[in-house]
């Protein structure tokens, strides 16, 4: 267990400015999940700290005790105020501020879908607009993406890992599509909902998407479409993927800026959306139960 990923009850109590016995009461009530070391000592994971703070809104009396666990926390803020600050931060390569602002937003109780739709997307739209109007150099756009990816990776560590036996979701961006953040938004939304989300990232060959979903027994496949390059070919591949998913009763979720709206009816899918929040319609635990017939696994012997 690494020092950065786990805290002892004493360390967390010190950060919150409460006694160890208060903290143990919260553990006993199930408000804080603890794990044990091989030697039987109680440890609290970074994800458990986040879930506790998010649900109880407990103030952090001594944030310096959480250094290395939670990025330096900034004051409470509204997305509208923070977008310009974040645009500056990502373009200047300021990883710390970016991660801190996103963590604060998550700790305030917002969902991953809200984080992407209300904060990360508008920031990156501004970066794109800056590039288009020659205010932001191409290298800054690349750096901005890299800084945002780093912050989003940090966010992933705040979400509890999937439970054993969690349903598997597989997805990515198609072969001609180099975009990393859009497919990551689907990944994080599904992970937060308890899915075992496997993000194959950008430039994913269609046959590999099918192969991964087959061998991992995926109940849901997502495709994130941002690049409009080769759109005709992409849509024809999507049609085949959709038919494949239908045959195998896999839920198909499609989204992204380049997804045509409305989508051709010959591409049947459970979701065709432009917001990360659209995934919630089919991926929430209750919709999984309600649609259980749509979440069958591949038959192992089928081609
Ligand atoms: C970063 C970036 C790049 C980077 C990508 C780096 C990387 N590896 O990821 C680089 C530099 C490579 C790049 C290249 C290009 N880019 Co570019 N790029 C962007 C930028 C600034 C941000 C994209 C991003 O990451 N957004 C953040 C994500 C989280 O937001 P999102 O994509 O909107 O995703 C949301 C929804 O779509 C939805 N969603 C996404 N996936 C899914 C999946 C499901 C299932 C669901 C339900 C929902 C969903 O939820 C997400 C969260 O809200 C955008 C600007 C913009 N307006 O977005 C331009 C932009 C997309 N690029 C643009 C252009 C023109 C280009 C280039 C052609 C430039 C050039 N001349 O070289 C090339 C083309 C590359 C290609 N092969 O297609 C244009 C696109 C115009 C168009 N429609 O064709 C844009 C809009 C910029 C602009 N204003 O002109 N780009």
* Residue 46: CATH number of its domain: 1.10.1660.10
Claim to verify: residue 196 and residue 271 sit in the same structural domain: yes
Ligand 1 centroid, distance to 253 Cα (angstroms):
18
Claim to verify: residue 173 and residue 131 sit in the same structural domain: no
In a domain, 1, yes or no: no
pLDDT at 222 over 60: yes
In a domain, 13, yes or no: yes
In a domain, 97, yes or no: yes
In a domain, 124, yes or no: yes
In a domain, 301, yes or no: no
Please give the helix or strand (H or E) that residue 35 lies within, else none. Answer: strand 35-36
Ligand 1 centroid, distance to 294 Cα (angstroms):
31
% of residues, the chain, pLDDT over 90: 72
- 64-114 pLDDT per residue, tens: 888 878 777 766 666 677 899 999 999 999 998 999 899 888 988 899 999
Q: Where are the beta strands (DSSP E) in 131-249?
A: 168-172, 196-199, 220-224
Claim to verify: residue 132 and residue 240 sit in the same structural domain: no
Claim to verify: residue 125 and residue 194 sit in the same structural domain: no
- 239-267 pLDDT per residue, tens: 999 999 999 999 999 999 999 999 988 99
Total domain count for the chain? Answer: 3
pLDDT of 112: 96
Query: DSSP of 140-169, one letter per residue?
Result: HHHHHHHHHHHHHHHHHTTSPPPPTTPPEE
* Residue 199: CATH number of its domain: 3.40.50.280
- 148-174 pLDDT per residue, tens: 999 999 999 889 999 999 999 999 999
Work out the burial of residue 163: count CB atoms within 10 Å of its CB; fewer than 13 is exposed, 13-18 middle, 19 or more buried.
exposed
Ligand 1 centroid, distance to 77 Cα (angstroms):
26
pLDDT at 59 over 70: yes
Domain hosting residue 134, numbered range: 79-156
Residue 114 burial (CB count, 10 A): 18
| Sign of the CA dihedral with 64 first, then 65, 70, and 76 last | negative
Claim to verify: residue 174 and residue 272 sit in the same structural domain: yes
Mean pLDDT for all residues in the chain: 89
pLDDT at 295 over 60: no
């Amino acid at each position: 267990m690494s020092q950065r990923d786990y805290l002892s009850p004493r360390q967390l109590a010190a950060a919150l400015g409460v006694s160890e016995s208060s903290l143990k009461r919260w553990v006993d009530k199930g408000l804080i999940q603890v794990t044990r070391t091989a030697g039987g000592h109680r440890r609290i994971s970074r994800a458990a700290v986040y879930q506790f703070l998010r649900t109880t809104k407990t103030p952090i009396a001594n944030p310096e005790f959480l250094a290395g666990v939670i990025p330096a926390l900034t004051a409470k803020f509204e997305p509208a105020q923070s977008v310009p600050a974040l645009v500056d931060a990502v373009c200047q390569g300021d990883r710390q501020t970016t991660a801190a602002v996103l963590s604060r937003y998550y700790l305030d109780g917002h969902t991953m879908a809200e984080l992407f739709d209300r904060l990360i997307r508008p920031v990156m739209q501004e970066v794109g607009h800056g590039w288009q109007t020659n205010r932001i150099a191409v290298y800054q756009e690349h750096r901005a993406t890299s800084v945002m990816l780093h912050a989003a990776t940090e966010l992933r560590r705040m979400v509890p890992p999937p439970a054993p036996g969690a349903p598997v979701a597989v997805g990515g961006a198609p072969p001609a599509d180099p975009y990393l953040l859009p497919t990551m938004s689907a990944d994080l939304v599904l992970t937060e909902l308890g899915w075992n989300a496997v993000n194959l990232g950008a430039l994913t060959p269609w046959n590999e998407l099918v192969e991964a979903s087959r061998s991992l027994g995926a109940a849901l496949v997502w495709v994130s479409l941002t690049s409009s390059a080769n759109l005709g070919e992409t849509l024809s591949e999507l049609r085949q993927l959709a038919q494949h998913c239908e045959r195998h009763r896999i839920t198909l979720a499609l989204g992204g800026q380049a997804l045509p709206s409305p989508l051709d009816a010959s591409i049947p899918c459970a979701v065709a959306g432009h917001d990360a929040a659209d995934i919630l319609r089919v991926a929430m635990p209750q919709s999984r139960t309600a649609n259980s017939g749509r979440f069958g696994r591949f038959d192992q012997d089928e081609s």
